[in-house]
Chains A and B, each alone.
Chain A
Amino acid sequence: MKWSLIIELSKALMFARLKQTGVAAVGVMFSITMFVALLGFMNGLNAMLDGLVLNRTPHIRFYNEIKPNPNQPVDESPEFSGSLNFIRSIKPSTSRLAIHNAEKIIQTLESDPRVLGVSPKISSQVFFNVGTIDLTGVVNGIDVEKEAQLFSFTDYVTSGNYEDLNQTNTILLGKGLADRMLADIGDVIQVTTAQGNQVQLKVVGYYQSGLGDFDNANSFASITTSQKLLGESPSYITDIQVKLYDLDQAPPMARELEQIFEIDADDIQTVNAQFETGTNIRTLISYAVGITLLVVSGFGIYNILNMMIYEKLDTIAILKAIGFNSTDVNRIFITIALSIGVIGGGIGLILGFLTCLGIDQIPFETEALPTIKTFPIDYNPKYYLIGGSFSLITTYFAGFFPARKASGVDPVDIIRGK
């Protein structure tokens, strides 16, 4: 059986009921448009909200935790090995915050094929001296280039030039902190470290992460500035931040490397488990809504095809009488259903894309999200692919039962009934 004839017949039947066919196609179109726009918007928001924290969070962070030594002398002593030892008032040992042999660890990590990049960090508690008042805060000593490259550092620098941070004795203040200190770019502020060193630093820019608490206390300086601030040697590093190619490998790698380097390691999943849960549920809801829309439009197609079959019983009977078999009739109605799906779905995808472009233009400015000027949209082709396939699948099933009914029409019943 030639498809060209089937298509010709389907086309004729559709054109004979152009309005109904159009309504069915508009139904599919509308649901696909909404599906694509909804998922694009929802996932754009998801990506943005997750990015707020996840972009800046290293996949694995190595550091020395200040904690009591788990191996107390009394336990090591053979004399008390068989007894249950109670020790009161244990204090953390004077272990260093600095990571021992940091340079070697960084080199090893950088040569690991799973690792995208490594960035060292020094975090130090300081007081910002404003007149007679001291504000507590944190100076994060960072490798500026690597931080920009791995953790989208530049996205959050709202004013000033982050590269100026490479000069010694410069600082990039959190927006909240700068506002409290009334520090403009170019001003010099005074910082006192926990050890009592006083250093004067020049403000080169503001940093705004969107998390108010963070911006009220944090500031950034280069690694060298930080080391100078603390009066430490150039090998002093307190944190090593690692970004991996595959985020899912973080927990096992953290456990593995913890053993090898004999330091503490946190992985992103453990630290930020709640983010993934939120994302998954939001995605699930948007898929559910989108698919519901499609199913509803599927019922619309089902109805319209059923009506068409009742109206066209004569045509079906005559086609069968002149030699079309059940399969041909079935194919004709499936072709009609799929054409509605392809046309409606195709236009829907285009309109969905345009809707996304439209939403992308709507201003969305909040204090908390300095980098976002308009609503975020995810243009991932995956959603278009899913939307397209679903439009075909639902229209196929919407056409399946009416087509089966049509193919089962007994021409004798119809002709005799006249």
Chain B
Amino acid sequence: MSEKEKSVLRAEGIDKFFFSPNKNQVLKQVSFNINRGEFVSVVGKSGCGKSTLLYILSTMDTDYQGKLHLDEELISGKPHDYLAKVRNQKIGFVFQFHYLLNEFSVLENIMIPGLKLGKVSRDELEHRAMEKLKIFEMEEHALKKANQLSGGQKQRVAIARALINDPLVIMGDEPTGNLDKKNSDIVFNKFKELAQEFKQTMLIVTHDPEFAAGTDRIIEMEDGRVIRH
């Protein structure tokens, strides 16, 4: 199996139920595979379960049936602490709402997952964080507090943070959903750049057809099922 075909994320028959108010199956036998270097978008109508799927794939939601492999390792049923470590090391997150920590500067926000991983020294990490910021042309804002940035800037910082530990896969939950057209385009172009220049594996949930059209592959969902992948 070549490097290109190595599976990063593989879901097998994932079922998910919500129990409140009534028992309701939101995901039905969801199965797909994402290989290294793929830029994949998940699309579907509101309520089709695409966000729910993303939370399961991100290991944050562990209440599901089926098998999930990350980096060819079965991670379903692993203890929470182990999953936290996996998230820290192998997954980068970008949310619809920026979710930066307002108490910290931009640079520190990017460094925190790296400090948590603790693989490299603080100085080295700071250097790396600056590198990431440069990709997003945000280096002059490095010392600002997170809440002093505009929405688009925040989202770019959030992507930089997702990249700090050189994750296996970046997951995005409508990363442009909260941005205006101009910022949305900037953020999309950055994703595109990451895919092309750095061969970064990415899985982005979106309901923006324009965004989806720009990705390598589209997984389409409807009513809890994958109808196209």
List A residues at the B interface (Cβ < 8 Å).
1-2, 5, 8-9, 12-13, 15-16, 314-315, 317-328, 410-412, 415-416, 418
Contacts and interface: CB of A to CB of B under 8 A. Distances in A.
A315 B60 contact: no
B177 to A, nearest CB: 10
Contacts of A410: 60
A384 to B, nearest CB: 34
A12 B55 contact: no
B6 interface: no
B104 A314 contact: no
Which of B80, B84, B87, B104 has most chain A Cβ within 10 Å?
B84
Contacts of A320: 60, 84
Interface in B77-108: 80-81, 84-89, 93, 95-97, 99-104
Given A16-B103, A315-B103, A418-B97, A323 B84 contact: yes
B112 interface: yes
A2 B101 CA distance: 19
B101 A318 contact: yes
A318 B81 contact: no
Contacts of B93: 321-322
Interface in B96-153: 96-97, 99-104, 112-113, 115-118
B51 A416 contact: yes
B225 interface: no
A12 B104 contact: yes
9 contacts: A12-B103, A13-B103, A315-B102, A320-B60, A321-B95, A322-B87, A322-B116, A327-B81, A416-B51
Most buried by A among B60, B61, B88, B96: B60
Contact of B84 (A8, A314, A315, A325): A325
B38 to A, nearest CB: 22
A43 B77 CA distance: 60
B116 A324 contact: yes
Interface in B12-65: 51, 55, 58, 60-61
Contacts of B10: none
A1 B116 CA distance: 7
B102 A321 contact: no
A16 B115 contact: no
B161 interface: yes
A413 to B, nearest CB: 10
Interface of B: 51, 55, 58, 60-61, 80-81, 84-89, 93, 95-97, 99-104, 112-113, 115-118, 161, 173
Given A2-B115, A411-B60, A412-B60, A323 B102 contact: no
A323 B99 contact: no
Given A322-B87, A322-B88, A15 B60 contact: no
A326 B97 contact: no
Nearest to B89: A323
Contacts of A314: 99
A326 B99 CA distance: 19
A415 B87 CA distance: 16
Contacts of B117: 323
A8 B89 CA distance: 20
Nearest to A325: B84
Given A5-B116, A326-B81, A321 B87 contact: yes
Contacts of A1: 116, 118
Given A323-B113, A412-B55, A318 B99 contact: yes
A370 B61 CA distance: 77
A314 B161 CA distance: 16
A331 B133 CA distance: 30
B96 A323 contact: no
A325 B80 contact: yes
Contacts of B161: 322
A304 to B, nearest CB: 16
A12 B87 contact: no
A406 B23 CA distance: 28
A326 B60 CA distance: 12
Contacts of B103: 12-13, 15-16, 315
Nearest to A5: B115
Contact of B95 (A9, A323, A326, A415): A415
